Chains A and B, each alone.
Chain A
Amino acid sequence: MSTSDGYVSGLVKVHDGGSPADRFNLVLVAEGYQVGEIAQFQSDVNEFVTHLFNSPPFDEEDLACAFNIYRLEVISDESGADFPMCDDGEGDGSSVATYFDATFCADGKITRLMAGDSGSVQTTVESYLPEWTQILVIVNDNRYGGAGGSVAWTTTGGSWKNVALHEFGHAAFGLADEYDYYAGGDEEGQDNHPGPEPMQPNVTIEADPALVKWSSLVNAGSAVPTMNNPDCSTTNDGPSPVAANIVGTFEGADYYHCDAYRPQYSCKMRTTGADFCAVCIQTIRDTLSAYAAPATTGAITLDTPTVAFVDIPEGTSTVRPVVFSVDTCQPVTFEVSAAPGAPFSVAYEPVVVSNPAGGSARLARVWVRYECTASSGSAFDTISIRLVETGEEWDINLSGNCVPRETAAVQLVFDQSSSMLDMTSEGRLKKDVLKDSARVMADVAYEDTGLGVNTYDHDAHPSMEIQVAGPLLGGVGRTALRNAITNYEPNPSGMTATGDGIEFAKNKLDLATGYDNQAMIVLTDGKDTASKSVDEVDDGVINQTVFAIGMGTAEQINPVTLETLAGSTGGYMLMTGLLTQDDSFLLEKFYLQILAGVTNNDIILDPEGRLSPAAPTVAIPFDVAETDIEISVITLANLTGPVDMALQAPNGDIFGVSEAAVDPSIEYAKSNDSILIRSSLPLVSGGSPQREGRWHLLLKLDVKMFKKILGSIPDHIPDNLESSAVLQAYLELLTDLRNHGVKYSALVQTYSNLRMDVTLNQDSHEPGAKLLLDAVISEYGGPFRGSATVVADITLPNSTVTTVQLNHEGDGYYTATMIASNPGLYSARYRANGTTYRERPFTREQLRTASVWTGGDQPPQTTHPGGDGSKDPGSGGLVELLCCLYRHKGLSKVFFERLEKQGIDADVFRRCLKAYCKAKDKGETFRPEAIQQLSSAQLEVLQSQADELINSIHKLMS
């Protein structure tokens, strides 16, 4: 029954207000907890801490910061406390082996006097924390007991947490008992207080509230005292004559029935169930203020003696913080005592206040802005910052340099295999979907963006050399891109060799010098059927960022290798799934999102809707934050002619086509597919700069023009419409416009210092795969210090939408997982909604897709000749083997008989194999003329049959 009956596990800080040299250090010590019960101790500590910080005045943030709270985990050999036979008749004589020898009946007389070896407790605590201020020993026993003092004891029985706070009131704050008895009843000698005036702040012998030492807090009426005791031979347990919150003089305190007064009817220094009275609260505040105040030295540390603005893009302004570590929980205010000159400036006023928030040292920031213009060059200066509370002052060196804004070259890589001639389930030919969507790249690319195109089928083909886009109207690169798209035609006999297309694009980009970023966007609709396939592209060869768009389902495309390649270069792949009428802008949005990322833009939001004669206008709100540098709004529409677009600033000013005509900082362009407004921020109208706040995108349908256009469309079938499918799509568009109006999809994006990057990874491509959703928000190139929620709206394969909340793991990193149970496409729309460090609202959006399908984790089947023989022979290696066997007459009668049993005509097989091997020997591609006559649909059937054939031969060979 001593310190030999256990051991000390360690000291754990559970509430951190700062350095122990500066704070009120409360240590909660375990006694009578066995090793298997230490979790219970931790729980008891947590309960007490929660109770403390919910009890006025400790619930005040300033005061909570004055504390450090620790738990000393002490393991005892046995549980509880001794319960000896006591003079008061209680006790059972039991004894347990505990570290500090806690016992009820600590004086041999009174059971509820429960304590142990306080000296040993103090010595033990001091060995870990010499700066302790108050110790509370928590004894693992639910019988009621305890004792006061700077080493106080309590069991976990009854309302122990309130008892502990009462003892706290004595030991830490010098408060007197406010109860009006001594030993518990009507004992003699406690009738009238003998005087003199008690020194403690919360009891008095002065009856008059106006003269009492807490008179400044009195709000009682004229009664003197506020409540008296008519019978001084006993306690007055009657109700209060005034409201509970009234401060005055209430007779009965300091152990006496009469002639002693307390400030309020109830107080924790009187009964356990009450809160502290107003006078006690004031006393506690006064005492703790000494512990909450900033440290006289070392409280404030300058973390950034220099602030560097490195390689800031021209035409932008950015802010960086001067950072201080503040080791105090009381608010401190920094002010700029000497401001820097241009191009530096102080970003925000008032400069900064570090709010108390609990925990360890907090960071305070003074923000400096650097305006980067073409003439800024390099700049150096100093800013002086003073702490108002202490007068301390710091000089911080500033430096900055500007660089031209990053440029990008983008190579579009189009699949021109025969299947691009197929019809989508949306009603357009795939080639037309490609053309309609890719044109938007020409519409919205920055003037200095390089644009190029190549196509591929079983080989790569040049289409357009990389050229600078040029002005929005008539730019050479834009015009060339539009022409390349117009001239794009699939090859009716073309197979798919995506690897060839990628390598060709890589070579073109390698030659395009002078661009800071290079990327390619590969659009494909099917699996590789010829060499080079994606998996034949050597690892590490592609040094540009690869983005990919899969037009179709995962089963049709098998996106694994392309997805992997894109991910390895910092890009990603998006899949459309089966295109429907609702997806008319989907590919355009894919292109726009990718282009936004390549040019360092972030998407604020992308709403969709309709404009009709019945509802010709719409105002779509969106938020612009102080972090945003430039804004671009792109509206896609199935009929742009009668649609007008403008932006409404927070002050109501309008920026549209008229303003763009006279303000060169605003770009406005309209094509058959899209309308664009782009401008750096702030936008200025009437001398009033507009940036932060709630903006509106205004769309308006010119009803007159709309009706005129619809009326001018002939009812007969135009002669130049050759295809019934195209005709059908044309008629459907007309019907849609007449019945529902113009369909639009807007995209609001910003070049900003607040960015959101997202990833959607998956641990498998089979149903049951785990999807890993991550989002990272950054602000001014550093960790996000604002507040945001991030969710992902996931459209499931059955078209229902479920929303997943991403958990904030700190520093702007958000994450979540979900299981993709069913085969199909999972389309995740990430949405961030929050406020910046300067508490300005913002939103961000991003789209990613994932696919799972049965067999998704099987290696991709290469259905083209020329597979890598060093690996699994695959179909290419197999055909080589068959050719070899055919040439050397190694295919026996039995082989052909077994082929027949598999349903394959042996004669046809012989002829085909002969033709193939002959072509192969000549170094030609196997292209029977008959195949060239086939439609893409027939080719697809043939391809499917060929796959079956290969599988059959595989079975035979194995």
Chain B
Amino acid sequence: MPAIRLTFNIIEGKPQLKTARRLSMRVPPQQKISNIGRGGGIWVELRDKEGIPLYQRVIDTETFSGAAEIPTGAADKSFARVSSKQYVSLFNIVIPDNPQGHSFHILEQRSADPKKKPVELISLDINKACPPESDKEGEQ
């Protein structure tokens, strides 16, 4: 199925779009999380022109925490998180290449208060970030 892969560099916890590519591959399903936008965490969202979400998926919070997870070698406390702003990691997400798709967002909700809007870590015009094949042909 048509899909778009978006690749971000995470520098000091902030995403920067590195590449965008249209592909034919499956995308992970939307998760059945009832508290998207209300609970705490980070998620990605594909919206149409009206701002209505077409696709949502929760992602690992620590990806954008500016920390890295390392193995400790211990049996009981096998992992540890270390703050490492110097470490540049990559974040990839594959979303549906939906003709209605207009914008892509990475959002973070830090408060339980529903009145507080989530923080937008990044927002992209999906067709500018990844021009449709037909547009590319027209440019040639």
Q: A residues within 8 Å of B by Cβ?
A: 20-25, 106-110, 112-115, 118-119, 122, 126, 130-131, 133, 144-151, 154, 157-160, 162-163, 166-167, 170-172, 174-177, 179, 181-185, 195-201, 213, 235, 237, 255, 270-273, 283, 286-287, 289-291, 296
Contacts and interface: CB of A to CB of B under 8 A. Distances in A.
Nearest to A112: B70
B79 A179 contact: yes
B80 interface: yes
Interface stretch (B30-38, B45-53, B97-105, B128-136): B30-38
12 contacts: A107-B82, A112-B72, A113-B70, A118-B90, A133-B94, A163-B78, A170-B60, A177-B62, A184-B77, A213-B33, A273-B75, A290-B27
Nearest to B94: A133
B41 interface: yes
Given A147-B70, A149-B89, A197 B60 contact: no
B58 A109 contact: no
Contacts of A150: 90-92
Output the residue of B18, B27, B61 with the most chain A CB within 10 A.
B61
A893 B86 CA distance: 112
B82 A290 contact: no
Interface in B9-67: 9, 18, 21, 23-29, 31-36, 38-43, 57-63
A107 B60 contact: no
A109 B84 contact: yes
Q: Lowest 7 A-B CB distances belong to which pairs? A: A196-B112, A199-B41, A107-B87, A197-B39, A150-B92, A107-B84, A184-B80
Interface of B: 1, 7, 9, 18, 21, 23-29, 31-36, 38-43, 57-63, 68-73, 75-82, 84-92, 94, 109-112
Nearest to B43: A199
Contact of A146 (B33, B39, B71, B82): B71
Contact of A109 (B33, B57, B73, B86): B86
A198 B39 contact: yes
A110 B76 contact: no
Nearest to A204: B39
A113 B79 CA distance: 11
Nearest to A155: B71
A149 B36 contact: no
Contacts of A154: 71
A171 B60 contact: yes
A109 B80 CA distance: 14
A420 B71 CA distance: 86
B21 A130 contact: yes
Output the residue of B31, B60, B82 with the most chain A CB within 10 A.
B60
A175 B31 CA distance: 11
A192 to B, nearest CB: 14
A556 to B, nearest CB: 72
Contacts of B73: 112, 144, 157-158
A151 B38 CA distance: 29
Contacts of B60: 148, 170-171, 174-176, 200
A154 B60 CA distance: 19
Nearest to A108: B86
Given A147-B89, A290-B27, A291-B26, A237 B81 contact: no
B70 A110 contact: yes
Nearest to B86: A107
Given A198-B40, A255-B81, A20 B62 contact: no
B34 to A, nearest CB: 7
Given A113-B82, A147-B70, A271-B78, A286 B21 contact: no
B70 A201 contact: no
B90 A151 contact: yes
Given A130-B21, A171-B60, A177 B79 contact: yes
Contacts of A183: 80-82
B26 A145 contact: no
Contact of B61 (A195, A200, A283, A289): A200
B22 to A, nearest CB: 10
A610 to B, nearest CB: 67
A253 B18 CA distance: 33
A289 B28 CA distance: 9
B82 A196 contact: no
B69 A177 contact: yes
A166 B39 CA distance: 23
A311 B62 CA distance: 70
B26 A147 contact: no
A289 B30 CA distance: 12
Contacts of B29: 286-287, 289-290
Given A159-B78, A176-B61, A199-B35, 13 more contacts: A118-B90, A122-B90, A131-B23, A150-B91, A171-B60, A177-B62, A184-B77, A196-B111, A196-B112, A197-B35, A201-B31, A290-B27, A291-B26
Nearest to A167: B69
Nearest to A123: B19
Nearest to A213: B34
Nearest to A157: B73
Nearest to B80: A184
Given A112-B72, A150-B92, A174 B57 contact: yes
A719 B33 CA distance: 104
Given A130-B23, A149-B89, A113 B68 contact: yes
Contacts of A159: 71, 78
A195 B24 contact: no
